[in-house]
Every structure is written in C-alpha cells, then in structure tokens.
Structure 1
Amino acid sequence: MKLRFDPKDLEELTRNVKQIQNDVLEEILKANANTEYLGRFLHGSIDKELFKKNVPVVSYDDVKPYLDRVANGEPSDIISGEAITTFIRSTGTSGGKQKIYPANNKYIEDLAFIFALRSFIVSKHIDYDVEQGKKLAFHFTIPHYNTPSGLPVVPALTCLLMSDYFKMRPTNFHTSPDEVTLCQIYKENMYCHLLCGLARRDEVVSIICSFACALVGAIIFFEKNWRELCGNIRSGNVSEWITDLACRDSVSIILGGPNPELADLIEHECSHNSWEGIITRIWPKAKFIQTVLTGSMAQYVPILEFYSNNLPLISPSYMSSEALFGVNTNPLCKPQDVSYTFLPNLSYFEFLSVDEGRNEEIFDLVDVKLGCFYEPLVTTYSGLHRYKMGDVLQVTGFYNSAPQFKFVRRKNMVISVQLEATTEEDILKAATQATLVLESSNLMLMGFTCWSDLSTLPGHYVMYWELKSKYINGLVELDNKVLVECCCVVEESLNILYRMYRCKSRSIGALEIKVVQQGTFGSLMDFFISRGASINQYKTPLCINSSKALEVLENKVFARFFSDKYPSCDS
C-alpha cells in the first residue's frame, strides 16, 4: 500500500463509481459467499441481484453472535472469507454501549489511503509546504486487550498508529516523535505532545486532532499546565512525573537543552488577560486546524474560532469503526457546509431511504437523489453485510459521479417527553441560537448535553451547560435574566411538535438549564475513557442515555434556570 497519493486516483475513483462498486461487491461475494453467514442466503452464488433479494438488512445484535464466536476462537470463515486480524472497538458514546467490529489488512490499508488522500486534498487548497513544516498532531494510543482467541481489540486510529504503515512511513512530519504518540498514558501523552509542539513552534504549520472535543480538551490542558511547560523549556528538562522512559528520552532530544528566550515568549503570550487567538499567537505559522466538526462536534466550532483567531477549520473525513466512507473534497468550506464525497473502492454502499412519507426503499450509491435523506448500509471486506449504520445523511451534491453527503444526525439519538422526537440536530440548532444571548455576558459555552427528565410532572427537557469566562481567571458570573432568556430561546428554536405539547396541551414542562462546574465535560470524557473509550474517538454525546454518565453531570451542578414563558405554536 502506497503512503503517497496519486492525484489521478481521486478522479478515476469518482468517475467510475458504478463499475467500481460492482467490482467491489463481486470481490466481497467471491471471498464470502461460502461463509456460514452468507451461505445461508446465497448458497455459494455471487449474483448481485440474489444478494439484494436474499441477504437481510441487519443491525449489531444480528451479527454479534457470529463476532463473539470468532472472538472466542472459532475460525473467521464463520462470517468472513478473509482472515479477521483485529477487532475495531467503538467508543460507545453515541449509541450507549461499546461494540466490536471485524477488520483485516484491507481496513488498515484503507485507513492509510484515507489519510494520504485527505493530506493531498488539503495541500491543493492551502498554500503551505508540509514537507518543510510540522503537524502538531494530538494522536493518542490506549492499551488494548485480546479476545480469548488472541485477536487484538483496539480503536481504529490506535490500530493504524500501531501498524507498519505508521511505523515505516518514510518521514515523520509531526512535531512529536513516535515514542510520544505511542505512549499509552493519556496525561503524559498530552503533556509531551504540547511540550514538543511548543519547542518546535516555528515549524508548526497545522494542528490536528481526531475530534473537536479532544482538541478543546488539549487547549484547556495547555491553559492549566503552561507554567510547568515553560519551566521545562527554560531548563531543558522534562518533568519528573513523565514516567514513560522512551517518551522522556525522545522529548529531551526535541528540547535540546535550556531555551529561556522561548520560555519567556510563551510565558508572555499565555499571561495575557484573554486567550483569544492563543493558537495563532503561540504557533504563528499555523495555516489551518484539522478535526471532525460535523454532528455533535459542531458545538465546538465557536470555541475553536475564539482560540484560533478564525483559522480555517477543516473537517477532513467520514469514518467509523464499522467502515470507512469518504473525504471532504472542499476543505475550506464553512463547518456547517461540510459534505463528504463517498469513495466507491472502500466498501459496497447501499442507502435506506429515511425521507418522511416514503417507503423504506434501498438504493445503490449511484442512484441516490439530490436533497434526499438516507441511512447508509455497508457491506465490507471483513464480514459485515448490509449493516445499518444508524446515521442519517443528506445528499448535497456530486464530485464527478460520486455522491456527496452531509452528516445530519445519529438516527437513534433522540429525546422525548410525549410523542415529539427531538434529535441531536434539533438540540444543536437550538443551543446555537441560545449562545447568541450569551455574547453580551462574555461567557463561552464550553460543552453541553441534554436529557428528558420524566421524574417530574409533566416531564421536561434538561440541558447541562459548562460556561467559561473569555478572560483568564475571570469569574463565571451568572445573570439570571440572561440564562432564563437562553432557556426561552432554546424552546422557541425546537420543532413545532415540541412547542405544541409545551404551550397548547402543556404536557411538557418548562425547559431547564443546569450550569455545571468548569471541567465537568472533561470529567464526563474521563468517565467514558475509564469504561474503555478511546480519546481519539470520543465524541461528547448531545443526548445522554447513561444513568452513570448522568450522575457525573448531576454531581457538578451549581445553578439552575427555567424558561419563564411558553414558546409560540406557529409553524
């Protein structure tokens, strides 16, 4: 597998979508038609129409028994004709529970392919010399475990970082040596990434992190630890609490001895009354930030704009533990306009229509219609067949003949009190409107989530907000009038069914905002990580469905506000 990308590949892939998809399905069926799973439906046939007629659309519970059998030592050909070499572990923050998915060498090759492709695309849109500069990449690995059969269970990015594709790449364009990236102690890893990024500040041309919430977490970590980091740079020594010896030694080489001038410069910038634009003040050659900003990550766009002095924010690709899908071929578009071009060589893609009033028809990749909404189904090289992803996507355009999709929401992530269904997208839009009210108070919304509290009569929506002053050491002064108005704006921004239940039948109670202590959403992330989630894949859930996670939030509440008027019932 090549690590550099030939620009002709993208054009060829997106011009020959139908043929490539047919070839992909044929390859998959040749390898898998005689497995125990597919054999029941195809009896060895590789006919596409028989596949569509006989093979059922499935969810995780349908395939879990087969995956468990492989994990416990039975051969891969129960479900996959190619040997399963790894299980990819999902985070569990979106759907509520962790899952494991089969992967083979093709999955790792495709990951490397996606990373090379998106770097090529960005280089065509932003004038920077990546081979001369460095990426400050917040990549993390976590300890993995093995199934009873000895197969490793790892998050997707950890799988790539531990592979030969990463270890044997010709050049390291990251500020951090590999020993830091491969350090499995999260706090030490984060600290050393920052220390290397500061020591090489004049070389940094981009800042990269898998998801926006983790990047915001890195900024907050920097804010708490900059004095110690400056002390390390001033003395040329790494803090004693860094226990990973390979990490310590490699970072010491990067420091290269005492540098009091650099320490003074960083100390000066970090001592300002506000950290607005801190990223460009510390890393003046940075041209862009690359991190996923779609879905629930959209809430972090205003925070990153504040800290980065409005550097371009690039949401690079659409990937999951189950399968890989595509890339953003227009990286400089606004975060709210991001769409992903599906690449036909990665898996066989089908799409289940989810438009209201339409039957649940299934369409091939080349047959989806502009403006319509679909749930993707994937058939992969590693043993998933017509697997429902649970995402809702909208077709926004085409790159040559390859459809482009906007991520809309997770299909099953809704909150409800009556018969209304309020989605993540609804909550995000409403909260975005409410944050406009906050602007007069010099407060930033650093994180939020919600749930429907049915213990009250009537039940009502509860939002947890973590607020932070725009000024260093600034107090979070809560203005009752402002926060109550935020509650009202959220309600006014929700869908018509919610507002009708709220103001006509009054069977939904007043919306409540609970303000939590600073650092609460970091504690929420720590909670999910303690249960096996990967920092690389962690996504703050916009709708909480875990009672244990809810306890983390409830223990940090210090103020409560309710809407004081009914929303309008106009459509």
Structure 2
Amino acid sequence: MNFSTWSVSVTFSDSFDEGANGIIVRNGHKLPKRIDVGSSVKPKLLEVVSAGVFPQDMFHADPVTELLPSSGTTGGVSKLFPVTEEDKNLRFLIWSMSRPVLNKYLPGLEQGKCTFFYFALPGWKTKGGVLRQSAVTSFVLSRNFRQRPFDPTYRLTSPDEVILSQNHEESTYCHLLCALLQREEVLRLGDIYASGLVRAIQNLIDWWPEICEDVAKGTLSESKVHNSTAVREAVPPYLRADPELAEFIRQECSKKSWGGIIRRLWPNCKVVDTLGRDVLGLELVVSLEQLPAVATGE
C-alpha cells in the first residue's frame, strides 16, 4: 500500500471564510478540498495490514472481515478498502436491484439466460491474518451469492462450480463450452470489465478446435479441464453430443473475420453487460457487435 497517496475529500460549512484552513469558497459555494491524511492515518493502517488490528472507531462499528483492493488508480497503485458483513449485504441488495431496472428497458430477459465470464481468484491473508481478495471473488464466494434465490432474469449458462473454480483457464473454457451449447438461449453476455470479455473472445480464438470436439462428442476435454474435480462433476449435465452445432461453430470460427462473432454465435443476445473503464475494449466489442452496452456490475 502506498500511504502517501491516501487522501479524503471534505466540504466545510459556510462558517469558514475564503482561505480558512485552505478551504476555497467562491460565489458563496463550497468546494471540496483534498487533504492529505497519510501521515496521521498511516500508523493505524499499518496496524490493520500487519497486525490485523482494526480500531473500531476508525472504520466501522462492526468488525472488518476482509480487505478489497481497488482496480487501479491514476497513479497505478491499488488502494485497500475495509469491508464488513453489512457492506457485503448492501452490495448484494444493490446488485439485485439492478436487474428489474435492466428488464424495464430490455424486456423479456426472463425468457433466456446469461453468460458471465466470472471466476474466483485465489486470495491471500495479510501478516495479521486479514483476508485480501478481489471484489468479484468476495462476491461470488459470499453466502448471498451461493444461496441466492431463483431469479428468472439471472439464469446462468454455467454451474456455480465453474465460477468458483480458482483456475482461470479451466473456468473460461467451461464458460465458453456451456454458453455455446445453449447459444439460442443466451440473451445477455458479459464480464465485469470489457477487457475480460475481450480476453474471453481471444481464448475462443485459441480454443475453438477443442471446443468443437467437445460439442460434437458431448465430452469435457481432460487436457483443458483437469485440476478441479468439482468442475468435472458439475459440467456433464450441461453437455450433449451435437455434431451439427460443432460444425456450425467450426465454420464460423474458421472465417477470416471475427467481426460480429458474438452476434453470429449467440444470435439472440440483446446486450453486452460490462463496465467500460477500459474504454478501448468496450468500444471494440460494441462497434463490432452492434449491441448496446450496460454496466450492472454483475
């Protein structure tokens, strides 16, 4: 952690005159002022990371259960954010509320399925024993996600075991295989970040011969998926031998141009669901597919 960059934004009351404590007031309006608090907070933060000590008056009235790194900053250094169980429950509530809003503007999503290229990255513990992991990993490993109630607008093409697999390549391979076997049902496809979706398509470019073989035979490649017993046991119910579909995928993936590959392989897809922080990746997907893009955080 780079403590020298920790800062907060505060807005003071109107009682502060222009220039008081460095606060700038223009035309009667208050302006937020970034104040460096690294020197005063650094000792407590070191306690959090190194010793696992969480001063209750510093962060929250509830115990901090884990630390989530930011996806990145302008300085290229990730920040760590303390999380409590209440935070996790609130995140799940917000996540659940996004789907009715999406269904309002894209009706009929309950008639199909979703493909999301999610997987759980291995986390690790700080010296003080506090778990540090990505926000996506924290979410999919949470009780709220694993015990989520049935929602017809959020029926996934892959079993949860594929999402919970900590092997990125095996998880992505199974996501692609299951999604292609249910290609007519996929109405929504995405990843947290557009770069992840672009990476999944790149994997398809590399793996389509093996995927076609599995589709034709109704098998799960042992060379591609061999580390997780749970995944190998969970995926077979989703498989079927479909030589005709395998030939179709082979023909599409053999074409010189991969432009519009999502619409070609998943013809009923209505929307690309991904965050556009990596704008180039998002623009690439949307321009080639001519599909609307949304960001529900799912």
Normalised by the shorter chain, which TM-score bucket? Answer: 0.7 to 0.9
Matched, 1:303 2:281: no
Task: For 1:65, give the aligned amino acid.
Answer: P
Q: How does 1:396-415 map to 2 (within 5 A)?
A: none
**What is the DSSP-based 3-state SS (H/G/I as helix, E as strand, rest coil) of the residue aligned with 2:235?**
helix
Gaps of 5+ in 2: 1-11, 22-32
Residue deviations 1:337-374, cap 9 Å, x none?
A: xxxxxxxxxxxxxxxxxxxxxxxxxxxxxxxxxxxxxx
Deviation at 1:97, TM superposition (A): 2.4
CA distance in structure 1 between the aligned counterparts of 2:106 and 2:259, rounded to whole angstroms:
23
Task: For 2:44, give the aligned amino acid.
Answer: Y
Deviation at 1:56, TM superposition (A): 8.4
2:244 to 256, 261, 268: 261
**What is the DSSP-based 3-state SS (H/G/I as helix, E as strand, rest coil) of the residue aligned with 1:210?**
strand
Deviation at 1:112, TM superposition (A): 1.0
Distance 1:62 1:141, change over 3 A: farther
Deviation at 1:221, TM superposition (A): 1.0
- For the pair shown, the structure with the greater C-alpha radius of gyration is 1
Distance 1:276 1:167, change over 3 A: same
CA distance in structure 1 between the aligned counterparts of 2:45 and 2:219, rounded to whole angstroms:
48
Matched, 1:313 2:293: yes
The structure with more strand, counted as a fraction of residues = 1
Map of 2:89 onto structure 1? 109
- Aligned-residue CA RMSD (Å): 2.6
Distance 1:167 1:213, change over 3 A: same
CA distance in structure 2 between the aligned counterparts of 1:84 and 1:168, rounded to whole angstroms:
22
CA distance in structure 2 between the aligned counterparts of 1:312 and 1:212, rounded to whole angstroms:
13
Map of 2:195 onto structure 1? 213
Task: For 1:138, give the aligned amino acid.
Answer: F
CA distance in structure 1 between the aligned counterparts of 2:198 and 2:44, rounded to whole angstroms:
39
Q: Which TM-score applies when normalising by structure 2?
A: 0.80
Matched, 1:186 2:205: no
CA distance in structure 2 between the aligned counterparts of 1:306 and 1:74, rounded to whole angstroms:
49
Matched, 1:155 2:134: yes
Task: For 1:265, give the aligned amino acid.
Answer: F
Q: Answer yes or no: is the 8 Å Cα contact 1:76–1:83 preserved in 2.
A: no
Map of 1:143 onto structure 2? 122
Map of 1:67 onto structure 2? 45
Map of 1:526 onto structure 2? none
CA distance in structure 2 between the aligned counterparts of 1:200 and 1:264, rounded to whole angstroms:
15
* Aligned length, in residue pairs: 264
Q: Answer yes or no: is the 8 Å Cα contact 2:195–2:282 preserved in 1.
A: no
| Percent of residue pairs identical | 32
Deviation at 1:75, TM superposition (A): 3.8
Q: Answer yes or no: is the 8 Å Cα contact 2:52–2:127 preserved in 1.
A: yes
Task: For 1:261, give the aligned amino acid.
Answer: E
Q: Answer yes or no: is the 8 Å Cα contact 1:290–1:316 preserved in 2.
A: yes
Matched, 1:237 2:219: yes
Map of 1:124 onto structure 2? 104
Q: How does 1:158-177 map to 2 (within 5 A)?
A: 158-171=137-150, 173-177=155-159
Q: Answer yes or no: is the 8 Å Cα contact 1:134–1:174 preserved in 2.
A: yes
Distance 1:140 1:267, change over 3 A: same
Map of 2:231 onto structure 1? 247
Q: Answer yes or no: is the 8 Å Cα contact 1:128–1:287 preserved in 2.
A: no
**What is the DSSP-based 3-state SS (H/G/I as helix, E as strand, rest coil) of the residue aligned with 1:201?**
coil
Distance 1:184 1:169, change over 3 A: same
Q: Which TM-score applies when normalising by structure 1?
A: 0.43
CA distance in structure 1 between the aligned counterparts of 2:107 and 2:294, rounded to whole angstroms:
14
Task: For 1:133, give the aligned amino acid.
Answer: G
Map of 1:284 onto structure 2? 267
**What is the DSSP-based 3-state SS (H/G/I as helix, E as strand, rest coil) of the residue aligned with 1:141?**
coil
**What is the DSSP-based 3-state SS (H/G/I as helix, E as strand, rest coil) of the residue aligned with 2:184?**
helix
Q: How does 1:420-435 map to 2 (within 5 A)?
A: none
1:199 to 181, 184, 203: 181
Deviation at 1:62, TM superposition (A): 5.3
Deviation at 1:266, TM superposition (A): 1.4
CA distance in structure 1 between the aligned counterparts of 2:275 and 2:287, rounded to whole angstroms:
17
Distance 1:239 1:78, change over 3 A: same
